[in-house]
Amino acid sequence: MEATIRHLTTEEKALKINLQTDIYGCFAEIGAGQEVAANFFKAGGSSGTIAFTHSAYDMKVSDAMYGKAKRYVCEERLQTMLNTEFSSLKNTLPNKYKESKFFAFCNTVESLNYHKTNQGKGWVGLRFQLNKQREPNNAILHVKMHDNSHKGQQEALGILGVNLIHSCYHRYNDIDEFLDNLMHRIPRDRIEIDMLSLTGPDFSTIDNRVIALNLVKRGITDATMFDLARNVLQPTTALYKKNILLTRGRFRPVTKVHIDMIENGRKAFSKEKEVQEDNVSVIFELTLKDLTADGKISVQDFLDRADLLSSLGYTVMVSNYLKHYKMVEYLAPIAKGNLIGVILGVYNLNTIFDERYYDNLSGGLLEAFGRGFGPNMKLYVYPALNVEDGEIYDLDNIEIAPNLMGLLQYMRENDKIKPILEFDPKLLHIMSDDVLSKIKAGASSWEEDVPESVAKAIKAFELFGYHKKAVKA
């Protein structure tokens, strides 16, 4: 029977760090008080751990210390703070540097204002050494704070900061334990982490995309993102005031029909008068449900799909938004009035018009449509082959409940649902499930159904059950 790890209290964690004679560092906190440093002071024994702590609260002071900035609560500002404080510590105490593992904890946070008209959020980072004189590591995260009081947000941030430092020094070998410890005593209704990155010499084997997946899987956040360079992204920052074009699916694997759908969907989206081509972010979204097989999520299968999408140059989002309207509600505040487009196949539109899909809502389908079809949102519908007769199945002959045909017509006439008119009919026969079956069976015909770069990647890395020695004619 495996032993259960007892989580230390916040005070115990701070004291444990304070009593380690080889750990030494500094704190620089902007916004939400200095609750992290305060926890270490209150725990006792901090004189052997803390070199200094300060808060450049006044913008002029902040500019004097870190340089002028357009935005003060952003990742760039956090990185500048980490660079400045760690270097200052190292240069000021060169002898101490030789005998200690240095750290610099920094945050720049916007907490709840007096009138409670804003969202508490911020960036938190730790630059730290696990080995003396070795290059430091970085832990960077973005938080949303949900407590309904300034004091509550300060307290939650203080707990999170202690958890982060303790996790980096004592839970770095196991990402599950790291995340368990990081979120200890701060449930989702208090703190949400929608971006976490661990980098440095001691984390060279860590794939931050797996961490991103775990954030969603554990319910620490509902959505996170990463780019083609495998860098995790904070969604609000990456998509701020962008025209967002989203397509949702399993992409197991990516096929030529997927590419045709997104390329022609983008053409239709770019023709909208509200859209500037240089301000479009194209997102491929994977939901947790689509990542699940036999009730479990295969990390390797997830990475396979992520690698293929990234190789095609697309940004990937992982979300827990099964329902269409939930995703739109999430994206709308980020887009800040810019147009959001969602590309989907016509059979997926059948699901959206299925009233059973909204049994959880008191207002049913109409409530969902009201929430999911705001003034700056449109659906772009890609056709399919009718599974029964092989004819093209599209918006003009879609089969939905007779009582909802009027609603569909209303949506079309008001430019909320539009057909993708440009498409390659020769590709409509391609089905991801069929391609996957061919790959697993050792056939070769599947290569005709996927982009050349995807075929090369599948064969080179033996993805989705492909085996080099098992190929048959």
Range 106-113 average pLDDT: 93
Q: pLDDT tens digits, residue range 116-134?
A: 889 999 999 999 999 998 9
Distance CA 467, CA 344 (A): 32
What pLDDT band is residue 5 in, cutting at 50, 70 and 90?
low
Rounded CA-CA distance 307/73 in Å is 31
**pLDDT digit string (tens) for 182-226?**
999 999 999 999 999 999 999 999 999 999 999 999 999 999 999
Which DSSP letter does residue 117 get?
Answer: -
| Full-model pTM | 0.93
Mean pLDDT for 326-335 is 94
Residue 154 reports pLDDT greater than 50:
yes
- Give the pLDDT confidence score for residue 472 in this predicted structure: 52
Find the DSSP H helices in 67-149: 75-92, 94-99
Q: Picking from 43-52, 306-315, 348-357, which range would have the lowest pLDDT averaged per residue?
A: 306-315
Cα–Cα distances in angstroms (integers) from residue 444 to residues 48, 253, 398, 467, in the given order: 65, 15, 34, 11
Query: Minimal CA–CA distance to 100: which of 34, 169, 162?
Result: 169
Side chain identity at residue 102, one-letter code: F
Mean pLDDT of 296-321: 88
Residue 469: per-residue pLDDT: 66
Q: What's the mean per-residue pLDDT of the chain? A: 93
Tokens 């409509």 belong to residue: 428
Of the listed ranges 25-29, 211-215, 300-304, 416-420, the one predicted with least confidence = 300-304
Same fold flag, 10-206 and 238-427: no
Tokens 């810019």 belong to which residue?
Answer: 338
Q: Considering only CA atoms, which of 345, 246, 256, 257 is closest in space to residue 287?
A: 246
Position 7 confidence tier, pLDDT thresholds 50, 70, 90: confident
Fold classification of 238-427 (topology level):
Rossmann fold (3.40.50)
pLDDT at 74 (0 to 100): 94
The distance of Cα 431 from the centroid of its chain, to the nearest Å, equals 28
The rounded percent of the chain whose pLDDT value lies above 90 is 80
Q: Please report, for the chain, how many H helices and E strands are present, in that order.
A: 17, 18
What's the whole-number mean pLDDT along residues 269-278? 94
State the pLDDT at residue 300: 86
| pLDDT range class, residue 295, cuts 50, 70, 90 | low
Q: Are 74 and 123 within 8 A, CB to CB?
A: yes
Question: What is the C-alpha to C-alpha distance for residues 381 and 372, in angstroms, rounded to an integer?
Answer: 16
Q: Mean per-residue pLDDT for 329-344? A: 95
The ranges assigned to domains in the chain are 10-206, 238-427, 432-470
Say if residue 405's pLDDT is above 90: yes
| Domain range 10-206, CATH architecture | Alpha-Beta Complex (3.90)
User: What pLDDT was estimated at residue 1?
Assistant: 43
